[in-house]
Structure 1
Amino acid sequence: MDIVLDGLDRRILNALQTDASQTNQELAAHVHASAPTCLRRVKRLTDLGVIVRQVAIVAPEKVGAGLTALVEVTLDHQGDEHQLAFEALVAKVASVLQCYRVSPGPDFVLVVQVADMSAYHALAHQLFAAQKNVRNVKAYFSILRSKFETCIAV
């Protein structure tokens, strides 16, 4: 289903992606619309699945999760049932922030946020070493996050 977004929808989305904590009245003033119109538009965008959820972005180093790893995972068997099983496994692990099926190359790329190398080692054992279908794992550890954005240009 194609969703048609007009200029006001786009202004609302951009404003909410920058600061979703603003009140409806603040949002309305920011996008130059009435508060009731803004409320209806946000509800419509949410009902259509354009707005999935509103969250707080936490600084990992402030909460003891200072190690970021980007992990490539290749499975031994790539059938759909095997890929779905791996996705179900990582979905249960809170320190796996993102999981992407990719092509070509590895089967998956994970974004992992843990406290330290000991925590990564425990995670690696749980997700990779203990799984019979995981053939290869290649991890990259972030030494500096030079850019981090959550906004999608609309």
Structure 2
Amino acid sequence: MEQISIDETDLKLLDSLQTDASLSNQALAERVHISPPTCLRRVKRLRDAGLIEREVALLSGDKLAALLGHGLTAIVEITLDRQGAEHLDAFELRVAADAAVQQCYRVSPGPDFVLMVHVADMPSYLALAQRLFTSDANVRNVKAFFSTKRAKFEPKVLLASIRFS
């Protein structure tokens, strides 16, 4: 992929879209102080470059809980027996493909992976553990922490170099 250069206007666009991706092109252009055609062209360039991976709706877990139940969120540390690149890659691909795994991080030092998983209940977690961990002979250790309350969730990437005027 070709290297892209970005400027302060691009950073402002990215920051605004992180806050509210539902803005119309007109509203986004006004917020960033550029013309709508320029805004459209720049956002397309940022998407094409892969800086904007996708746009999603963030759902209110607390409001959905009243309708669907809270479910169970777990932070799971995984240590593999063999850490060769092929073993790490294979495990990562397998867990990333599972819909219950919301986030997967390869970490160091300590465990090899930290996962954020969300399932309906404890039997569903046990099924996930069997599917992803117990059945894998390369998984040496699993340590799960179960969330009792989510105090903060912010998927926004900090764009520290922004200097807004």
TM, length-normalised to structure 2: 0.87
Matched to 1:100, the amino acid is Y
**Secondary structure of 1:122's aligned partner:** helix
Partners of 1:122 and 1:64 lie apart in 2 by 19
Match of 2:140 in 1: 135
Is 1:96–2:96 an aligned residue pair? no
Q: Which residue of 2 aligns with 1:86?
A: 91
Q: Tell me the matched-pair count.
A: 154
Q: Provide the residue aligned with 1:115 in structure 2.
A: 120
Deviations 1:112-131 (A, max 9, x none): 01111121111011111111
Partner secondary structure for residue 74 of structure 2: strand
Deviations 1:71-126 (A, max 9, x none): 00001111111111111211221010111111111111111011111211110111
Distance in structure 1 (CA, Å) of the matches to 2:30 and 2:143: 48
| Other-structure match for 1:39 | 40
1:58 shift after superposition? 2.0
The more displaced of 113-122 and 63-72 is 63-72
8 Å CA contact retained: 1:65, 1:114 = no
What is the root-mean-square deviation of aligned Cα atoms in Å? 1.5
Runs of 4+ in 1 over 4 A off after TM superposition: none
Judge which range, 61-70 or 135-144, deviates more: 61-70
CA contact (8 A) 1:60 1:66 kept: no
What SS class does the counterpart of residue 117 from structure 2 fall into?
strand
- Tell me, yes or no, if the aligned pair for 1:70 and 1:141 is still in contact at 8 Å: yes
Deviation at 1:4, TM superposition (A): 3.0
Cα distance in structure 2, aligned partners of 1:23 and 1:135: 50
- Report the alpha carbon displacement of residue 66 of structure 1 after superposing the two structures with TM: 2.6
Paired residue secondary structure (1:138): strand
* Residue number in structure 1 paired with 2:163: none
Secondary structure of 2:93 counterpart = helix
Aligned position for 1:26: 27
- Whole-Å separation in 1 of the counterparts to 2:56 and 2:22: 9
Alpha-carbon distance in structure 2 between the residues aligned to 1:54 and 1:90? 23
2:80 to 75, 84, 107: 75
- Aligned identity (percent) is 59
* Amino acid paired to 2:152: K
- 1:65, CA displacement in angstroms? 5.7
